[in-house]
Structure 1
Amino acid sequence: MLGIRERRNPSPCVARSLQRDLPGEVIADGLHLIERVLPWEAMPATLDGTFAREGDLALADMLFFDTETTGLAGGTGTRAFMIGASDFVPDGLRIRQLMMAHMAAESTMLRTFQSWLTPQTRLVSYNGRCYDAPLLNTRYRLARHASPLPELAHTDLLYPTRRRYRGVWENCKLATIERRALGIVRDDDLPGSEAPAAWLTYLRGGSSHNLKRVLAHNFQDVVTLTRLLMHLAGTDPLATA
């Protein structure tokens, strides 16, 4: 009959495109906090930092962190839309992730991340000295905040990893090291290069499906940093090499 259209159930692809929900708690306008604690074996109070050409490293002071950004070029046009961090608490390994649902939440995200730091905090990253920390320093400056990062100790695991594994495997990318040295195989991982498109798609009214995959990727990154530190310090019984 003319003028009447048959109503059909949307295909899975259409249904997926309409997903807009995001996990976690909305702690400020446009800012989501996702927090989880993983059970973890009891850890020593300090780790031998010889692998990083440092002395004993106090585990309680460590904050493992990684950002997801709008590009790899850096500069004032690149921003972090997600900051993931892990640290040890009495119940295990705590993973906290901050994610912006719109650009206006950036200043609040930066202040929230700063609230996780103390003068005793030791940052732990993978290539964070050259990428994540300078990028955040720029974002703090553009938001007219003093960056807390330059005053903190920073152990970048990329350099001791290169010293140990350069020439052993095909490269020293984090994905290679976690697979080869830690025995971690990611399932349905969204490549980091696709993270900017996932966030921008969401900002433009698209699906949150791939943005949730970015969250999962970032989550695994900060867990892997923890395992890698233990492996380099000789305290990870799960490592394969």
Structure 2
Amino acid sequence: MSLSLAKLQQLKRQTGQRDTTAVRMANVPALAAHMHPSTGAMPAPCTGTHGATGPMSARDNGMPGATSPDPQASLDRLRQLLRVRTPRPVRPQAHLDREVPGTEIAPGVRLVERIQRCGQTPDWLDGTFDRKDLLRSRDLLFFDTETTGLAGGTGTRAFMIGAADWVDDGLRVRQLYLTAMAGEAAMLDAFAGWLNPATILVSYNGKCYDAPLLATRYRLARRTNPLAALAHVDLLFPSRRRWRGIWENCRLATIEREVLRVVREDDLPGAEAPAAWLEYLRGGSANNLRRVAAHNHQDVVSLSRLVGVLAQAA
């Protein structure tokens, strides 16, 4: 952007710089007084004791004496007038903790698998609490997802799927999670490999949220939805029938505290899970992502305990 001469002169005056053109014009009468009347020549410059030409003082040339302004101060003043922001120094980035648990089973997908010791599990459970007959314990698959939001639809994706089932050694907990957007299809394929026609899905509000969300993701990935033909036990509804009006609500955290006597420590709220995952994808720390994994792990473990409580009370 070009500035007019008048604007530049005004800025120079405001920053303490003198207008050299005005100074020259003001000194014309003073210079004329020193010129030779007949020849019009200027007087010889002042010389020192040895005849060397010395600097002309402000008194000799008729200019008022003044010290030159500080260049840095003038520059700062000019920046302030032009409203130019001073760039802030870039702080060196501290060392980030990027370590994530598990094994990479495909590009952008990691698997965490643990065996949790538990008491003797009966081979069959009474399914009357969900208006079903006997449930074979080895067919139950407890699952929960961590997603990028609660709105659902095509813009929401599951970045972590946790599942637990009973095996000979105890409760096996497996978790799949994404470390890159491109790994979603591989994660969905891996989860589908854990299912078989006899699998009975067990969730908490999964019929209304988790299962429809996964169905959308399978559809967008152009894959058959493996959950559609499976039986599904949603523990939210029998929990409401049994404890509604007794506790303040029937959220899983409340059922854990009041029924299972589970108190979570350093638990990351589910509402903060999307931000934790996105922070990791953008190059941030993996600390909160590990806390999300711990939250998801406890969810599926609590489901395995809750189904036993409901079956015994049926």
- Counting matched residue pairs gives 222
Instruction: Provide, for residues 137-186 of structure 1, a one-character-per-residue CA deviation record: whole Å limited to 9, x for no partner.
Output: 00000000010101000000000000001111000000000100110000
Which structure shows the higher strand fraction?
1
Q: Verify: 1:83 aligned to 2:161, yes or no.
A: yes
Q: 1 or 2 for the larger relative contact order (CA 8 Å, sep ≥6)?
A: 1
Q: In structure 2, the residue corresponding to 1:117 is in which secondary structure?
A: coil
Q: Which residue of 2 aligns with 1:112?
A: 190
Q: Which residue of 1 aligns with 2:143?
A: 65
Mean Cα displacement is larger for which, 87-96 or 40-49? 40-49
Match of 1:218 among 274, 296, 299: 296
Instruction: Provide, for residues 39-63 of structure 1, a one-character-per-residue CA deviation record: whole Å limited to 9, x for no partner.
Output: 1112111000111111100101010
Q: Which residue of 1 aligns with 2:125?
A: 47
Q: In structure 2, the residue corresponding to 1:63 is in which secondary structure?
A: strand
Structure 1 Cα separation of the partners of residues 136 and 94 of structure 2:
50
Code of the residue aligned with 1:217 in structure 2: it is H
Q: Kindly state the Cα deviation for residue 21 of structure 1 after the two structures are TM-superposed.
A: 1.0
Q: In structure 1, the residue corresponding to 2:189 is in which secondary structure?
A: helix
Aligned runs of 1:54-203 on 2, under 5 Å? 54-203=132-281
Structure 2 Cα separation of the partners of residues 193 and 108 of structure 1:
25
Structure 2: which 5+ residue stretches go unaligned? 1-91
Code of the residue aligned with 1:88 in structure 2: it is W
Q: Which residue of 1 aligns with 2:110?
A: 32
Q: In structure 2, the residue corresponding to 1:151 is in which secondary structure?
A: coil
Code of the residue aligned with 1:115 in structure 2: it is G
Q: In structure 2, the residue corresponding to 1:138 is in which secondary structure?
A: helix
Match of 2:99 among 13, 21, 26: 21
Code of the residue aligned with 2:178 in structure 1: it is M
Q: In structure 1, the residue corresponding to 2:312 is in which secondary structure?
A: coil
Structure 2 Cα separation of the partners of residues 14 and 94 of structure 1:
37
CA RMSD for the aligned pairs? Answer: 1.3
Q: Which residue of 2 aligns with 1:7?
A: none
Structure 2 Cα separation of the partners of residues 187 and 102 of structure 1:
29
Q: Kindly state the Cα deviation for residue 14 of structure 1 after the two structures are TM-superposed.
A: 4.3
Structure 1 Cα separation of the partners of residues 268 and 159 of structure 2:
16
Instruction: Provide, for residues 90-112 of structure 1, a one-character-per-residue CA deviation record: whole Å limited to 9, x for no partner.
Output: 00000000010011000000000
Q: Normalized against structure 1, the TM-score is what? A: 0.90
Code of the residue aligned with 1:233 in structure 2: it is A
Greater radius of gyration (CA): 2
Structure 2 Cα separation of the partners of residues 14 and 164 of structure 1:
51
Structure 1 Cα separation of the partners of residues 156 and 113 of structure 2:
25
Structure 1 Cα separation of the partners of residues 257 and 182 of structure 2:
37
Q: Normalized against structure 2, the TM-score is what? A: 0.70
Instruction: Provide, for residues 161-212 of structure 1, a one-character-per-residue CA deviation record: whole Å limited to 9, x for no partner.
Output: 0000111100000000010011000010000000000000001111000000
Structure 2 Cα separation of the partners of residues 34 and 44 of structure 1:
26
Code of the residue aligned with 2:222 in structure 1: it is R
